[in-house]
Amino acid sequence: MSHPERAAEAARGAAVIYHCVGADYGHWQQLLPPVMAGAMHAAEATGARIVYGDNLYAYGPVDGPLTEDLPSKATGLNGRIRGDLAARLLNAHRAGRLRATIGRASDFFGPRVRLSTMGERVFGALLRGKPARLLGNPTCRTP
C-alpha cells in the first residue's frame, strides 16, 4: 500500500478499501504515513470508499468518556502520528477528494499479538485446542 500506483492497481474494481495496516511501535513514523498516502491515492483513483481501522492513541490522556468528537491531544509520538493520519484522511474526505470513515477501537488482535483482549484469551486458546473465553454473551442477539 505504500506505493500509490500499486495500491490503486490493487484497488481497481473495489467498492471499499479497508485500511487496517499496523506496524511495530518503533516504526510507525517511517511506515504508516506512506501506507496512508497509498491508501488515499487508491481511494481517489478508483472511487472506492476507504474505511480506516484506527486506535485511540490520537486522543491522548482522557479524563472521562471517550467519544468520537474528542480532539486529538496525543502527548506521545505514536499518538501524534495516528492523529495526523486521521486528520489527513478526514481533510481529504471533507474536501470531496475521497469518501472515508474511521472506526476506532481500544484493542487489537492479529498474528503474534499476545497482550490484547482477543489475543491469548481467544486465539491462543483455540490454537491450543482449548475453549475460547469471550467477553459478554456471544449468543445474545440485539434487534
User: What is the mean predicted confidence (pLDDT) over 42-48?
Assistant: 97
Per-residue pLDDT for 73 more than 90?
yes
CA distance 46 to 43: 5
Question: What 3-state class would DSSP assign to 59?
Answer: helix
Residues 37 and 91 in one domain: yes
Per-residue pLDDT for 143 more than 60?
no
Residues 101 and 118 in one domain: no
Whether pTM > 0.95 for this model: the answer is: no
pLDDT given for residue 19 in this prediction: 94
Residues 47 and 114 in one domain: no
pLDDT given for residue 135 in this prediction: 67
Residues 117 and 86 in one domain: no
pLDDT digits (tens, 9 = 90+) for 101-137: 999 887 666 666 666 666 667 777 788 888 877 766 6
User: What is the mean predicted confidence (pLDDT) over 14-20?
Assistant: 94
Question: What 3-state class would DSSP assign to 60?
Answer: coil
Residue 121 belongs to domain spanning = 109-143
Beta strand 49-54 pairing with 16-19: parallel
Residues 23 and 51 in one domain: yes
Residues 27 and 90 in one domain: yes
**Which position has the grid cell 472515508?**
100
Which CATH number goes with the domain that contains 18?
3.40.50.720
Counting the structural domains of the chain, the total is 2
